[in-house]
Amino acid sequence: METSKILLVDDEPSIRLVLKAVLESKGFSVSTAEDGFVAPRNIRSSVPDLLISDLRMPNMNGFELLAVVREKFPTIPVIAISGEFVGDQVRGVLADVFLQKGSYSPQELLTTVEGLLSKTQKRAKREQLGSTVWAPTGDAALMVTCSECYKSFPLDPCEDQTRNHNEVQCIFCGTTLRYKLVAVTRAV
């Protein structure tokens, strides 16, 4: 199994040192950045499997960094950490999980990291498979099965010409699905 790469962004050297040691003790490959300006360069050179970012940093703060990451790298799971922001102050932060500095144990951090990576790996496997397109019977409408919520819905080939030819949004969960139509012939 490949080692998961984590990018840790925090302006406090002691936090970077301790969290890096905790994560590396469990076999993760950890790179660090001291602020939100340095982090995107690190991501472009080696896209991490997970990002952990402080919210209060000089230059580019964590809120701004996470907005950039969600825009440019939307599939990277994110853990936001802060000792200054709590409760309603972090509402709307573009992270999968928020951890209050000083309120979580190393084991809680590791469990959170492993949970997010596991979920991301399962999702990536489903996306590799692509969305299933099928016809229930002979002349029936084409159907799509969502790779995220596993629900099926009709695919209208006429509507398909007005949008990207091989993408459709799930009508149940909104996930953008990629598919490929392959002609199948029957033996006579």
Domains of the chain, by residue range, sit at 5-126, 130-178
What digits encode the pLDDT tens for the residues 135-150?
Answer: 555 555 677 766 666 6
Q: Say whether pLDDT at 185 is over 50.
A: no
What digits encode the pLDDT tens for the residues 1-48?
Answer: 578 999 999 999 999 999 999 999 999 999 999 998 899 888 888 899
- Greater pLDDT, 182 or 143: 143
Q: Say whether pLDDT at 168 is over 70.
A: yes
Query: Range with the lowest mean pLDDT among 23-27, 149-153, 173-177?
Result: 149-153
Residue 128 has a pLDDT of 44
DSSP per residue, 123-174:
HHHHHHH--EEE-SSTTPPEEEE-TTT--EEEE-HHHHTTS-TTEEE-TTT-
Q: What is the CATH number of domain 5-126?
A: 3.40.50.2300
Q: What value does the CA radius of gyration of the chain take, rounded to a whole number of Å?
A: 21
**Interhelix angle for 13-25 vs 106-129, to 10°?**
70
